[in-house]
Amino acid sequence: MTAKAAAKIFASKEVTITRVFNASRETVFRAWTDPKQVAQWWGPKGFTNPVCEVDPKPGGALRIVMRAPDGNEYPMKGTFREVIAPSSIVFTSIAVDKNGRHLLEGNTTVMFAEEDGKTRLTLHSRAVGLVEEAVGMLEGMQAGWTQSIDRLEALVRAGS
């Protein structure tokens, strides 16, 4: 985040979600690193991802355009900071508007722990709103991540 942006934080939010999947660590990890799978579960219920580019390596890019049921699109970009298969992923995310203006910036860490043949996923995400419109986005962050993880769980279950 730039020093200029840091001076204009409108709100911030942290979310931690833990879920146990009835699938191997490798399977759940792959669902986070394979763009075809990410496109199937990323975003709240009812959203699609017409653009889903994932380059899961340190410094690799993440670019997703979520499309809401009403047709509105919500682009984001980010960078993978750490990818340690199959145990952790750390990435930045920046929600942008159609002109590329940064709306909010976040950091997310996802940990994958093997637990009796299942996988305990722990997601921790922190985001800051850089414009007033981002306040509503942050208010929906817990629900958005929860619904995304629900969709991830359904995808992993269907694949096993």
pLDDT at 48: 98
- For 32, 52, 138, 142, the CA distances from 152, given in Å and listed in that order, are 9, 15, 21, 15
Mean of the pLDDT values across residues 19-25? 97
Question: What is the topology classification, in CATH, of domain 10-159?
Answer: Alpha-D-Glucose-1,6-Bisphosphate; Chain A, domain 4 (3.30.530)
131: helix, coil or strand? coil
Query: What pLDDT, on a 0 to 100 scale, did the predictor assign at position 160?
Result: 60
Average pLDDT, the chain: 94
Q: 10 φ, ψ to 5°?
A: -90, -30
The strands making up 48-54's β-sheet, listed across from edge to edge, are 11-21, 118-129, 102-115, 88-96, 73-84, 61-67, 48-54
The bridge status of strand 48-54 relative to strand 61-67 is: antiparallel
- Banded model confidence at residue 9, pLDDT cuts 50, 70, 90: confident
Per-residue pLDDT tens digits for 85-143: 999 999 999 999 989 999 999 999 999 999 999 999 999 999 999 999 999 999 999 99
Higher pLDDT, 58 or 7: 58
Please report, for the chain, the start and end positions of each structural domain, with discontinuous segments joined by +. 10-159
Q: Which two tokens stand for residue 87?
A: 């145990």
pLDDT number for residue 3: 46
Alpha-carbon distances, residue 144 vs 65, 87, 156, 159 (angstroms): 15, 23, 18, 23
Q: How far apart, in Å, do the first and last CA atoms of the chain sit?
A: 40
